[in-house]
Amino acid sequence: MATASLIADSTQIAQGAEAVSDPPSRNTTRKVYKAYIHTSFDSDAKVPILLKHRFKKQYRHPSLDANLTRARVAGEARALLRCLRSGVSVPGIRMVDATEGVLGVEWIEGKSVRMLLGGGAEGEEEQVSDSEEFFDDTTDAGGESVSHVDPLDEYQVTIDEIMGLIGSEIAKMHKADIIHGDLTTSNMIIRHPFAAKGPSPTKLVLIDFGLAYTSTLVEDKAVDLYVLERAFASTHPDSEPMLFAVLEAYKKGMYKDWTTVERRLQDVRLRGRKRSMVG
């Protein structure tokens, strides 16, 4: 299998040998790699891509599992394309091998918002909602280098600006009726200023559309925001002002659709609180 040998030649970027286990709702395992798919004999210019490989730990129903993996990969690819066409900042798509469970996307040189906010390095991490984070979120190739520069300075960005970008990108996405399904600060990358492409590149890139789907329902959009709130609260201390800034930008982007989402978000929060009191 060509894609299998491509993966064998690629560099896994997860820290540690173990792949991330999905929550039961995902029921698959995935590994990510840095890979090169078009190597020129005539020049050294190489552009990396990110390969995301989904597979089963155990194959209980091989054909059923294969169909499920296929559907997941196809779903993630379609959600990304829909985002691109709607002007949401996401990685471009480079290859899809749904049969092998592989999706190849544009490599984003940067750091996750989680890392930029000091959301903890490996080992000292807390669990974010129900998705496990065993990754070192640094996506630069070296990874190890210890720098004493404030990463926010290095990335020429302020916390306020990041929060504004998060809010406005989510608003664009929701206006296009795309629900992300796993909005955490690990699933947002800030491009390194040196890796900026084009004349006016977007600094913030939303990634990981593995749980994304389309929906026009206000409920789904409100829950999407609630997942983000919970992720912020559990990963970043004093997240309230940050969340406030996110919602301000979201509100601006949603314009007249904001009030219904806001009302529903309050409902969802209330339900969440009740559930945690009971459970």
Partner 1 sequence: MEVYDYPHFNLQAAICLFTDVKNGPEIRKRIIEAATCQGEEGEALRDAVNFAFVDARLITSILHLQTAVFYALLTQSQGCLRTKTVHSEILWALNPSNNISEAIRRYGISDSTTSLLVIEISVLPSHHDKIKAIVDGTVSPFPRLSEITDWATIKKYHKLNGELAIQHLRDVATAHAMIDEIVVSTVATKSVSQ
Ligand X SMILES: Nc1ncnc2c1ncn2[C@@H]1O[C@H](COP(=O)(O)OP(=O)(O)O)[C@@H](O)[C@H]1O
Positions marked catalytic: 182
Judged by beta carbon, residue 95 or residue 159, the one nearer partner 1 is: 95
29-35 and 20-21 strand pairing? antiparallel
Residue whose pair of structure tokens reads 């406005």 in the numeric block: 168
Stretch that binds partner 1, among 12-20, 127-135, 196-204, 254-262 (CB under 8 A): 196-204
At a CB cut-off of 8 Å and minimum separation 6, what does 2 contact? none
137 lies in the site for Mg ion, by CB under 5 A: no
Residue 111 phi, psi (nearest 5): -135, 150
20 lies in the site for ligand X, by CB under 6 A: yes
Distance of CA 130 to the CA centre of its chain: 14
CB of 48 to ligand X, least distance (A): 8
Q: Which of 87, 118, 237, 241 binds partner 1 (CB under 8 A)?
A: 87
235 lies in the site for Mg ion, by CB under 5 A: no
Judged by beta carbon, residue 34 or residue 175, the one nearer Mg ion is: 34
Total residues at interface with Mg ion (CB under 5 A) = 2
CA neighbor of 243 nearest in space, from 264, 229, 261: 229
Distances (CA, A) of 95 to 6, 101, 102, 171, 247: 12, 11, 8, 27, 34
Stretch that binds partner 1, among 11-19, 83-91, 141-149, 204-212 (CB under 8 A): 83-91
Judged by beta carbon, residue 140 or residue 267, the one nearer ligand X is: 140
Give the tokens for residue 168. Answer: 């406005």
CA neighbor of 13 nearest in space, from 27, 31, 29: 31
Judged by beta carbon, residue 147 or residue 200, the one nearer partner 1 is: 200
27: left (phi over 0), alpha (psi -120 to 50) or beta: left
Instruction: Summarize as ranges the residues that interact with partner 1 (CB under 8 A).
Output: 1-3, 5-6, 9, 37-43, 47, 73-74, 77-78, 80-81, 84-87, 92-99, 104, 106, 172, 175-176, 197-200
Instruction: Summarize as ranges the residues that interact with ligand X (CB under 6 A).
Output: 20, 30, 32, 50, 52, 91, 105-108, 112, 135, 137, 139, 186-187, 207-208, 210
